[in-house]
Amino acid sequence: AGDDCLVFKVNGERFEVPEIDPSTTLLEFLRSKTRFKSVKLGCGEGGCGACVVLLSKYDTVNKEVENFTVSSCLTLLCSINGCSVTTSEGLGNSKDGFHPIHQRFAGFHASQCGFCTPGMCMSLFSALANAEKTNQPQASPGFSKLTVSEAEKAIAGNLCRCTGYRPIADACKSFAADVDMEDLGINSFWNKGDKKEIRLSRLPSYNPKDHTCPYTEELEDEYKSTRLL
Ligand code: FES
Ligand code: FES
């Protein structure tokens, strides 16, 4: 693509945008020009998290892909040249299968109207992905390196008008290395009184290695072969 053209990817789909009003936000673009409408306009000023997406950017100094969340309502489209955006649809969907984050949000009844859910899922996903990069010891199989308090903090910037947060916190905490299964509230996975082993076996399985961002590796390859830019 020419120098005057923005190039980026959304959920693995390549977009080339030759001309754009420089005030266009990533949120406006996603909602008006793509089929990825899980991102929502809540406050429009960075306060609610309904528009949160994962941004993957190749760091040319450290030579690795960095993953972090942004409020797409505050992110100018012109600032994401060469980046890869992942929305909740990219994490999982009805066609390719849902991500364990989606499955656990559903099972813990952490989604009511659903308006806040995609942003919540992306915030949690980013925290899970970045926890794997830390030096903390590997958690037991099926769990993240995140602690319960880190898992709760992961969604500190996301507001929900419906659930009262308890079920959302339960869904997030279910991934944490130090979670106490007795602490997790009502859900559709197990019955009250079920033993710990039963509870564990009923939780939609999570493996940090299998449930990474599908587009991160791709971004790295593209940079190496300069296909994206
Ligand atoms: Fe509220 Fe973006 S819409 S943070
Ligand atoms: Fe309705 Fe969170 S489920 S805003």
Q: Does the Cβ of 119 fall within 6 Å of ligand 1?
A: no
Whether the ipTM is more than 0.95: the answer is: yes
Cα of 228 from ligand 2 centre, angstroms: 36
CATH number for 100-210 (one of 3.90.650.10, 3.50.50.60, 1.10.760.10, 1.10.150.120): it is: 1.10.150.120
Give me ligand 2 centre to Cα 112, in Å. 5
Q: Is 164 in the pocket of ligand 2 (CB under 6 A)?
A: no
C-alpha–C-alpha distance, residues 112 and 191, integer Å: 21
Whether 168 lines ligand 2, by a CB cut-off of 6 Å, is no
Radius of gyration of the chain (CA): 18
Rounded Cα distance between 201 and 209, Å, is: 19
Global pTM?
A: 0.94
Sheet of strand 6-10, all strands in order from the earlier edge strand to the far edge: 13-17, 6-10, 84-86, 52-59, 64-71
- The answer to whether 1-91+213-229 and 100-210 have equal CATH topology is no
Give the CATH fold of the 1-91+213-229 domain.
Ubiquitin-like (UB roll) (3.10.20)
CA distance 194 to 148: 21
Ligand nearest to the CA of 72: 1
Instruction: Report the distance separating Cα 119 and Cα 122, nearest Å.
Output: 5
- pLDDT 10s per residue in the chain (229 long)? 556 789 999 999 999 999 999 999 999 999 999 999 999 999 999 999 999 999 999 888 888 889 999 999 999 999 999 999 999 999 999 999 999 999 999 999 999 999 999 999 999 999 999 999 888 888 888 899 999 999 999 999 999 999 999 999 999 999 999 999 999 999 999 998 999 999 999 999 999 888 887 677 677 777 666 555 4
Domain boundaries, the chain: 1-91+213-229, 100-210
Q: Is the CB of 111 under 6 A from ligand 2?
A: yes
Within 13 A of 25's CA, how many CA atoms are on the CB side? 18
